[in-house]
Structure 1
Amino acid sequence: MNSATTNSTKPLRRFAVSATTTCAAQAEVYGKCILATYTDVKKDACKEEFAKFGACLRETLKKKW
């Protein structure tokens, strides 16, 4: 792997680590919703949970980067 590739993935890796610790609760709620509804998929079944998880990720991105 060249140094340009390594350097470009570091911010993404840092964001992933930060987001998984900061947004763990929202991710868990969203994951449980997906797990509970995957056999009976309906549009927007987990829309609210996904929106909360996405909002947390966006806030993490604003604060940390």
Structure 2
Amino acid sequence: MPSLAQMNGSLHIHNFYIGKLKAKQEQLFESGPELAMLLDNVAANAEVLTHDIADMECDD
């Protein structure tokens, strides 16, 4: 299992790219639904990481 620091780093990277993609969301929906689905998948993964990090912090 990854460490808390690794998970926080991964979450930071996810959030960085989510922010960039959300800024271009209008273009994503126009250019193809598969890109919009990719954004949804990345955002969902970041949400799971957020919950996992919170659980790990509570355990410590």
TM-score with structure 2 setting the length: 0.56
Q: Displacement, 1:62? A: 1.0
- Report the equivalent of 1:32: 20
| 1:48 maps to which of 16, 19, 41 | 41
Structure 1 unmatched ranges of 5 or more: 1-20
When Rg is computed on C-alpha atoms for both structures, the one with the higher figure is 1
**Comparing both chains, which one has the higher relative contact order based on Cα–Cα distances under 8 Å and sequence gaps of 6 or more?**
2
Counterpart AA for 1:53? A
Runs of 4+ in 1 over 6 A off after TM superposition: none
- Report the equivalent of 1:59: 52
Cα deviation code 1:21-45 (max 9, x no counterpart): 91211111111110121x34759x2
Alpha-carbon distance in structure 2 between the residues aligned to 1:32 and 1:40: 12
Q: Displacement, 1:55? A: 1.0
Structure 2 unmatched ranges of 5 or more: 1-6
Counterpart AA for 2:19? G
Percent identity for Structure 1 against Structure 2: 9
Higher percent of residues as helix: 2
CA contact (8 A) 1:26 1:56 kept: no
How many residues align? The count is: 43
